[in-house]
């Protein structure tokens, strides 16, 4: 089965779940990664049951945030 | 200073500055896309994003805007080089929160300080997986 991650072609056996894909792709800090499949964001609680399908376009997005920090104006 | 250098067009600096000033007193944020050749990262497009926290102490990017920017960059043959955010009233250096939330060591983390609005300060940082910070040179080029 062929699909893309960040626009790059990938081949995996059918039946792979999103959780398994994250492990196999060795995605670092997965708790801070948002996933979109075909432009639809996947709820974290559905990672275990979401199957990747032929032709899917998968995107892993790292949470981007930060800031000057708590309490600097208090 | 590390040998990594970020090349930034003056017009892109101006749009980052304008976005951060418009967002003041809240923090403002965005993404940088471009090309990499060895240790030189050249910014070809700046994406001005919303700070969904609407806070003067924090920022979070909207994942939908993030995805749209990344896809646009890819379509134009660019890669994600880094992000920027403002520190409205503190210096241009990564806070503990900035370091903690820097999950991708390959990215540039730019901070624009508006502590002195007449003299804004933009600096680029690398933050590795051990949360060690290095300052990277920014070379400004004409638009």
The pLDDT confidence band at residue B140, using thresholds 50, 70 and 90, is: very high
**Residues 6 or more apart whose Cβ sits within 8 Å of residue B122:** B13, B16, B17, B84, B92, B110, B111, B112, B113, B138
Whether residue A73 lies inside any domain: the answer is no
**Residues 6 or more apart whose Cβ sits within 8 Å of residue A55:** A2, A3
Q: A4 in contact with B at a CB cutoff of 8 Å?
A: no
**A37-47 tens-digit pLDDT:** 999 999 999 99
- A50 lies in which domain range? 2-62
Neighbouring C-beta atoms of residue B56, cutoff 10 Å? 21
Each domain of chain B, given as residue ranges in start order, spans 5-141
- pTM score, two decimals? 0.92
Whether residue A33 lies inside any domain: the answer is yes
Task: Give me the CATH number covering residue A16.
Answer: 3.10.20.30
* CB-facing half-sphere around the CA of B133: CA atoms within 13 A: 18
Whether residue A70 lies inside any domain: the answer is no
Low-confidence ranges of chain A (pLDDT < 70): 70-74
Closest CA to A7 of B75, B47, B32: B75
Average pLDDT, chain B: 96
Whether residue A49 lies inside any domain: the answer is yes
Q: Could B101 and A66 be called an inter-chain contact, meaning their C-beta atoms sit closer than 8 Å?
A: yes
Residue A13 phi/psi, 5-degree rounding, is: -70, 150
Q: Could A67 and B55 be called an inter-chain contact, meaning their C-beta atoms sit closer than 8 Å?
A: yes
Q: A67 in contact with B at a CB cutoff of 8 Å?
A: yes
For domain B5-141, the CATH class is: alpha beta
Whether residue A46 lies inside any domain: the answer is yes
The pLDDT confidence band at residue B1, using thresholds 50, 70 and 90, is: low
* Number of domains making up chain A: 1
% of chain B beyond a pLDDT of 90: 94
| pLDDT value of residue A74 | 43
Q: Is the peptide bond before B25 cis (omega within 30 degrees of 0)?
A: yes
Q: A34 in contact with B at a CB cutoff of 8 Å?
A: yes
Its ipTM equals 0.86
Q: Could B97 and A7 be called an inter-chain contact, meaning their C-beta atoms sit closer than 8 Å?
A: no
**B31-48 tens-digit pLDDT:** 999 999 999 999 999 999
Closest CA to B106 of A35, A62, A36: A62
Q: Tell me which chain B residue has its CA closest to the CA of residue A67.
A: B58
């Amino acid at each position: 089965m062929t699909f893309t991650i960040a626009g790059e072609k990938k081949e995996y056996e059918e039946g792979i779940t999103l959780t398994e894909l994250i492990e196999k792709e060795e995605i670092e800090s997965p708790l801070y990664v948002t996933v979109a499949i075909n432009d639809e964001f996947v709820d974290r609680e559905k990672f275990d049951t979401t199957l990747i399908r032929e032709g899917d376009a998968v995107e892993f997005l790292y949470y981007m945030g930060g800031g000057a920090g708590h309490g600097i104006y208090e | 200073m590390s040998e990594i250098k970020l090349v930034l067009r003056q017009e892109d600096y101006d749009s980052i500055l304008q976005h951060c000033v418009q967002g003041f007193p809240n923090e403002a944020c965005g993404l940088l896309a471009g090309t990499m050749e060895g240790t030189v990262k050249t910014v070809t497009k700046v994406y001005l994003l919303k700070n969904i926290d609407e806070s003067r102490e924090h920022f979070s990017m909207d994942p939908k805007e993030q995805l749209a920017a990344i896809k646009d960059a890819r379509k134009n043959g660019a890669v994600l080089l880094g992000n920027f955010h403002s520190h409205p009233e503190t210096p241009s250096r990564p806070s503990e929160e900035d370091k903690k939330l820097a999950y991708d060591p390959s990215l540039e983390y730019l901070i624009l300080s508006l502590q002195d609005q007449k003299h804004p300060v933009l600096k680029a940082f690398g933050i590795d997986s051990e949360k060690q910070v290095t300052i990277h040179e920014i070379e400004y080029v004409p638009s």
